[in-house]
Structure 1
Amino acid sequence: MTSPDAAARSRQAASGRRSPALSLFLSLRPSQWTKNLLVFAPLVFAVKLFDLPSVLRATGGCAVFCALSSVVYLINDVMDREGDRLHPLKCRRPIAAGDVSVTLAIGAAATLAAAGLASAFLLDWRFGAVAAIYLVLQTWYSASLKHIVILDALTLAIGFVLRAIAGAVVINVVISHWLFVCTILGALFIALAKRRHELVLLADGAASHRPILDEYSPYLLDQMIAVVTASTLIAYTFYTISPETEQKFGTAWLGLTIPFAIYGIFRYLYLVHQREEGGSPSDLLLNDRPLLACVTLWVIAVVLIIYHPFVP
């Protein structure tokens, strides 16, 4: 499967030119919107997947985060445009390449931010508050937090946690502490793998593109990734086999999904270490068939196991 912006880039390369509208659309990074599907996680685990009002509210919440995440990407690309021009892949981004002006990017970001936050508060004021915190935190990350070692990766992980919290708030359920722990650990795993990919890909030029990479080393990142990998698998295993989970869902079979979690994480590690990928987690998910198949089968298995006791 090819991501939307990758397909658009292929068409542009074939024609030799890119329209302003297409360039702006690519700057929104539509392939990255897959991250916002995390908003639906509380819906699934709260056993509300077939409750139409909840589904509609979660869908609206996901759309809001798609808009706000695009705001963050536009701001980030404006701030990083000089450094991106030194990167072998990021130099193709429309703002870095000069296909989208800074004025247009800022105008689009302001419009999306206003529309996204207004929609968020219309859905629920608490959801709006979480969405606003997400936007402020990620903008702060683009401005300064990404230059602070360890805190840079942790901030990215917190962005995923806020998506999960927002998904719970918008359908008026309490987020599970298990979902919170598994989300932040899984997101931290992806963030650290992304840093490792950048460090290895850019080699001696890493610090000139992203100065914070000078604070890391492949060995340090490998140690961090190992700790987070083990923690993620342990947390997910404890969640699936805990008496609390069995009582909530009325089934003890959720542990059958553990092999999917193990394979998915190990496949990701393989792609990072052996294929030197991982720079764009969303693109990696969409383009690596084994990983996509694993995630798809995991979702199907979770839904079948969780919802079976509730189906007449």
Structure 2
Amino acid sequence: MPERSSSNTRTTATRSRTATATTTPTTAVIGRPRRAAPRRAPRRRPLSLPAGLLRTARPRQWVKNVLVLAAPAAAGELASSRALAQLTVVFLLFTAAASAVYLINDARDADADRAHPVKRRRPVAAGQVPVRVAYAAGGLLAGLTPVAAALLCNAMTAALLTAYVVMQLAYCMRLKHVLVVDLVVVTTGFLMRAMIGGVALDIPLSRWFLITAGFGALFMVAAKRYSEAVQMAARPGQRGATRALLGEYTTGYLRFVWQLAAGVAVLGYCLWALESGGTANGSLLPWRQLSMVAFILSVLRYAVFADRGTAGAPEDVVLRDRGLAVIGLVWVGMYGLAVADL
């Protein structure tokens, strides 16, 4: 009996070793943890950085710089090829100065923009443009633009551009958080655009021109703030998606500001148009005086969007509304006939 028992034990042990030898490799293969595939870093396209810098410079906002033509157009100085060449240079310089401010602003606000539902898509906040690169590009443009203006235009143009850059950087860092001052700074930026073309060409600027341009700009800026405030009041859950300072304004106050500015702009334009006192040099009709009708209609048309709270993007209102575009073309035609003495 003992011998038979030990024989059975050896047989069982042999079978067990054979089974283990047969199954162990399979078990090892099945049970072996798979190595995770190495995660590839996202590839940057070769032109992603330049494209990001261009987006940060806000090309859609460049249409505002067409205002550099305002003073020369009012003075009838656009027919000269020299004037047009000089104004092209001024347009490019002002665009570079404005782009410098946008680059530095986005670099400064990158952390806050990442927590914003809309601004997080901006190239600097999204990581497409490194913060240091945005600072460097903005600082380079801010430093070179006044120098280029002094070389290509005159000292007054360089001084005006320098004042614009300094004022806008102060706005980005502090002044945009100060009540009323924020409206004044943005309005002054538009006024500087309207002035710089005349400054570059040494054209005297009429006081009525400055009043009309200044209060016209305040009208659009206040209407934009009013529209933003109306939309914020309609969607209180999205207060973080708009300007923090808007909570300090009331819609009634902003409505008062844009209505006051619209009235002063209309009055200033009428006094400017009536300054000549009638037909000039035997013109067929008093086109300059008749242009008052088109100007007033354009203000009234824009006020419709302001009253609805849909004037949050002035460039969109001006470019997309056909009625306003037609009125604007009529005004341009009338004023052009006045300048040409036809």
Same fold (TM over 0.5): yes
Shift of 1:42: 1.4
Aligned to 1:168: 198
Aligned to 1:25: 54
Instruction: Report the AA paired with residue 184 of structure 1.
Output: G
**2:325 pairs with 1:292:** yes
| Compared CA separation, residues 73 and 130, structure 1 to 2 (3 A) | same
Aligned to 2:269: 236
Secondary structure of the structure 1 residue equivalent to 2:340 = helix
Q: Deviations over 1:232-254 (max 9, x none)?
A: 11211221122368669977321
Selected match of 2:303 from 252, 257, 269: 269
Distance 2:182 2:163 in 1: 17
Distance 2:278 2:142 in 1: 38
Selected match of 1:54 from 83, 99, 103: 83
Task: Give yes or no for contact 2:150–2:158 (8 Å, CA) kept in 1.
Answer: yes
Aligned to 1:220: 253
| Aligned ranges 1:118-197 → 2 under 5 Å | 118-122=147-151, 123-197=153-227
Task: Give yes or no for contact 2:75–2:339 (8 Å, CA) kept in 1.
Answer: no
Task: Give yes or no for contact 2:228–2:242 (8 Å, CA) kept in 1.
Answer: no
Distance 2:98 2:205 in 1: 21
Distance 2:157 2:252 in 1: 40
**2:100 pairs with 1:71:** yes
Distance 2:333 2:117 in 1: 37
| Compared CA separation, residues 248 and 160, structure 1 to 2 (3 A) | farther
Q: Deviations over 1:126-165 (max 9, x none)?
A: 1111111111111111111111111110111111222222
**2:331 pairs with 1:308:** no
Q: Of the two, which has the highest radius of gyration?
A: 2
| Compared CA separation, residues 27 and 248, structure 1 to 2 (3 A) | farther
What's the % identity of the aligned pairs? 31
Question: Taking structure 2 as the reference length, what is the TM-score of the superposition?
Answer: 0.77
| Compared CA separation, residues 104 and 288, structure 1 to 2 (3 A) | farther
Instruction: Report the AA paired with residue 286 of structure 1.
Output: L
Secondary structure of the structure 2 residue equivalent to 1:73 = helix
Shift of 1:64: 0.5
With 243-252 and 231-240 compared, the bigger mean Cα shift is at: 243-252
Shift of 1:21: 2.5
| Compared CA separation, residues 212 and 47, structure 1 to 2 (3 A) | same
Task: Give yes or no for contact 1:134–1:159 (8 Å, CA) kept in 2.
Answer: yes
Distance 1:101 1:142 in 2: 19
Distance 1:120 1:244 in 2: 38
Distance 2:86 2:231 in 1: 41
Stretches of structure 2 lacking an aligned partner (at least 5 in a row): 1-46
**Structure of higher RCO (CA pairs closer than 8 Å, 6+ residues apart):** 1
Question: Taking structure 1 as the reference length, what is the TM-score of the superposition?
Answer: 0.84
Task: Give yes or no for contact 1:239–1:245 (8 Å, CA) kept in 2.
Answer: no
| Compared CA separation, residues 287 and 244, structure 1 to 2 (3 A) | same
| Compared CA separation, residues 183 and 131, structure 1 to 2 (3 A) | same
With 169-178 and 291-300 compared, the bigger mean Cα shift is at: 291-300
Task: Give yes or no for contact 1:41–1:167 (8 Å, CA) kept in 2.
Answer: yes
Stretches of structure 1 lacking an aligned partner (at least 5 in a row): 1-17
Distance 1:249 1:118 in 2: 45
Distance 1:87 1:245 in 2: 55
Task: Give yes or no for contact 2:281–2:341 (8 Å, CA) kept in 1.
Answer: no
How many residue pairs get matched? 291
Aligned to 1:281: 314
Shift of 1:63: 1.1
Instruction: Report the AA paired with residue 208 of structure 2.
Output: W
Aligned to 1:45: 74
Distance 1:71 1:170 in 2: 21
Secondary structure of the structure 2 residue equivalent to 1:100 = coil
Shift of 1:125: 1.2
Instruction: Report the AA paired with residue 264 of structure 1.
Output: S
Aligned to 1:14: none
With 28-37 and 90-99 compared, the bigger mean Cα shift is at: 90-99
